[in-house]
């Protein structure tokens, strides 16, 4: 019984990571005023890149780094389209999803001649992994989980306590006011979107390197969208997103233990139903940053 509880707990945390990281990425982007539904595509790209680079270079950390860079590249494209070209943010995000779906399998065939690639490497923390206690810990709760937790905490401070965070939020709520005070709306929005790419890429790397140990076509499986749901349910805050991620992760973790009468698909629906609920409710409604989705025109 106790073992089950621990297993569920560890499972919850493991499932929560991609939701949290993607949702956190979304938070940075949307806080700056740019909708990013392309998280799913950035995650998928990160997943592929991490495995491909790990297998080629033999180093999982390099794979992780590459995944983050690829995510940032996609973020840069999204930012250019949405901020500089002032084009439709939803369609751009959708294009990124389709693009990622195509290009990951494309390169998968080219480089490895298959669409299911085993990750030949794991993220090992240099000294700690030698110690048996940590080895056991990391086998249940991989290193990236701790990195994620650190990023969540750090993000809270970055967004709410730093100069950068204040300006980021101002640009998402009232870009005109920020502009009159000399803040570069374009620069802040680029930053927000590129960070969202980096975090989504990391989410993908986690998925393939530490969670599944595999890259498979379409491995992101909608987790980017659950990340969006986490962000909304978490009211665009790092701790809220992490909490939502844990909640949705718990749903995943508890599925095998459910009695037959509760269909697993209903658990799958929960993140989305909760999100709609929190968007439409009369009390405690989640409101996005005020200027979101509207390209800024410097008159």
Partner 1 sequence: MGEYAVEMHHVTKQFPLVIANDDVTLLVQKGEIHALVGENGAGKSTLMNILYGLLHPDSGTVTVNENQVQFTGPGDAIACGIGMVHQHFMLIPPLTVAENVVLGQEPSRAGFIDIARANKKVQALSDQYGLKVDPSAKVETLSVGIEQRIEIIKVLYRGAEILILDEPTAVLAPQEVEELFDILRSLRDQGKTIIFITHKLQEVMEISDMVTVMRRGKVVGTVATKDTSRNEIAILMVGRQVLFRVDRGQASPGEVVLQVDDLHALNNRKLPALRGVSFGVSRGEILGIAGVEGNGQTELIEVLTGLRNAEKGDIKLNGTVITNFSPRRVREHGAGHIPEDRHRRGLVLDYTVAQNMVLGIHYRKPFVKKRLLDVINFTPIKEKADRLIHEFDIRPPDQENLAGNLSGGNQQKVIVAREFDQDPKLLIAAQPTRGIDVGSIEFIHHRLIQARDAGKAVLLVSADLEEILSISDRIAVIYEGEIVGILDPEEATEERLGLMMTGGGR
Partner 2 sequence: MGTLAPIVAVVLAFLTGAVIILFFIRTYTLTDTTFADLKEAAVPIAVIEKIRSLEGKDYSDKAAFEEDIASRMGDKDFQQYGAMISGYALTRENPIRVYHEIFKAALKDRNGWGHVLYRATPLILTGLAVAFAFQCGLFNIGGEGQMVMGGFAITWVGFTFTQLPWFLLIPLCILAGAAAGGLWGSIPGYLKAKRGVHEVVTTIMLNWIAVALTQYLTMAFKPPESWIPHTYKIAKAAQLSRLYVYLNPLGINFSRSNLVNTAIFVAIAAVLITAYLLKRTKLGYEIRAVGFNPAAAECAGINVAKNTVLAMAISGAFAGLAGVNQVMGYKHRFRYGVFEGLGFDGIGVAFIGKNSPWGCVLAALLFGILDHGGLAIDVSTKVPREIVLVLKATILIFVVVSTELTKRLINILQKREEAAA
- 63: nearest Cα among 72, 74, 53, 73: 53
Q: Which of residues 184-213 bind partner 2 (CB under 8 A)?
A: none
Residue 215 phi/psi, 5-degree rounding, is -110, 130
- 82: nearest Cα among 24, 32, 22: 32
How far, rounded to the nearest angstrom, does the alpha carbon of residue 260 sit from its chain's CA centroid?
32
C-beta closer to partner 2: residue 148 or 230: 230
Q: What is the DSSP letter of 210?
A: I
Candidate list 8, 9, 57, 107; residue touching partner 2; CB under 8 A: 107
What is the C-alpha separation between 279 and 232, in angstroms, rounded?
8
Residue 99 interacts with partner 2 (CB under 8 A)? yes
What is the C-alpha separation between 90 and 211, in angstroms, rounded?
29
Partner from partner 2, partner 1, none contacting 180, C-beta within 5 to 8 A by type: partner 1
- 250: nearest Cα among 224, 271, 234: 271
Residue 137 interacts with partner 2 (CB under 8 A)? no
- Per-residue x/- mask for partner 2, residues 19 to 38, rule CB under 8 A? ----------------x-x-
Count of beta carbons in the 10 Å neighbourhood of residue 75: 31
SS3 220: coil
Partner from partner 2, partner 1, none contacting 157, C-beta within 5 to 8 A by type: partner 1
Shortest reach from residue 290's CB to partner 1, in Å: 7
Residue 106 interacts with partner 2 (CB under 8 A)? yes
C-beta closer to partner 2: residue 138 or 225: 225
C-beta closer to partner 1: residue 170 or 196: 170
Q: Which residues contact 182 (CB under 8 A, 6 or more apart)?
A: none
Residue 248: exposed, middle, or buried by beta-carbon count in 10 A (0-12, 13-18, 19+)?
buried
Shortest reach from residue 289's CB to partner 2, in Å: 12
Beta bridge partners of 214: 118
Candidate list 34, 159, 232, 242; residue touching partner 2; CB under 8 A: 232
Q: What is the CA angle 46-52-53, rounded to 5?
A: 90
C-beta closer to partner 2: residue 35 or 64: 35
What is the C-alpha separation between 47 and 53, in angstroms, rounded?
10
C-beta closer to partner 2: residue 1 or 110: 110
Shortest reach from residue 292's CB to partner 2, in Å: 9
Partner from partner 1, partner 2, none contacting 276, C-beta within 5 to 8 A by type: partner 2
Residue 283 interacts with partner 2 (CB under 8 A)? no
Residues at the interface with partner 1 (CB under 8 A): 157, 161-164, 166-167, 169-170, 173-174, 176-178, 180-183, 290
Residue 116 phi/psi, 5-degree rounding, is -130, 110
Q: Dihedral of the CA atoms 131, 63, 18, 41 (nearest 10)?
A: -170
Q: Which of residues 242-281 bind partner 2 (CB under 8 A)?
A: 263, 265-266, 268-269, 272-273, 275-276, 279-280
Q: Would you tell me which residues interact with partner 2 (CB under 8 A)?
A: 35, 37, 77, 81, 85-88, 90-92, 94-99, 101-103, 105-107, 109-111, 113, 222, 225, 228-229, 232, 263, 265-266, 268-269, 272-273, 275-276, 279-280, 293
């Amino acid at each position: 019984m106790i073992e089950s509880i621990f297993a569920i707990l560890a499972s919850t945390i493991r499932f929560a990571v991609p939701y949290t990281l993607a949702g956190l990425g979304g938070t940075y982007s949307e806080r700056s005023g740019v909708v990013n539904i392309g998280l799913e595509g950035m995650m998928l790209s990160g997943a592929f890149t991490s495995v491909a680079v790990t297998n080629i270079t033999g180093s999982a950390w390099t794979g992780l780094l590459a995944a983050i860079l690829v995510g940032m590249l996609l973020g840069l494209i999204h930012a250019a389209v949405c901020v500089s070209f002032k084009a439709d943010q939803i369609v751009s995000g959708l294009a990124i999803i389709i693009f990622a779906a195509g290009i990951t399998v494309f390169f998968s065939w080219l480089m490895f001649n298959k669409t299911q690639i085993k990750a030949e490497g794991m993220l090992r923390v240099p000294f700690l992994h030698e110690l048996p206690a940590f080895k056991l810990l990391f086998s249940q709760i991989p290193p990236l989980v701790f990195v994620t937790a650190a990023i969540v905490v750090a993000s809270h401070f970055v967004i709410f306590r730093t100069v950068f965070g204040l300006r980021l939020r101002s640009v998402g709520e009232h870009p005109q006011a920020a502009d009159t005070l000399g803040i570069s709306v374009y620069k802040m929005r680029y930053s927000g979107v590129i960070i969202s790419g980096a975090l989504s890429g990391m989410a993908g790397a986690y998925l393939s390197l530490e969670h599944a140990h595999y890259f498979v076509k379409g491995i992101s499986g909608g987790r980017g969208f659950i990340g969006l749901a986490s962000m909304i349910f978490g009211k665009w805050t790092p701790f809220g997103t992490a909490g939502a991620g844990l909640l949705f992760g718990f749903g995943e973790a508890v599925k095998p233990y459910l009695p037959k009468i509760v269909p697993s698909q209903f658990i799958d629906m929960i993140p989305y139903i909760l999100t709609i609920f929190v968007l439409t409710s009369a009390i405690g409604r989640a409101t996005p940053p005020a200027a979101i989705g509207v390209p800024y025109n410097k008159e």
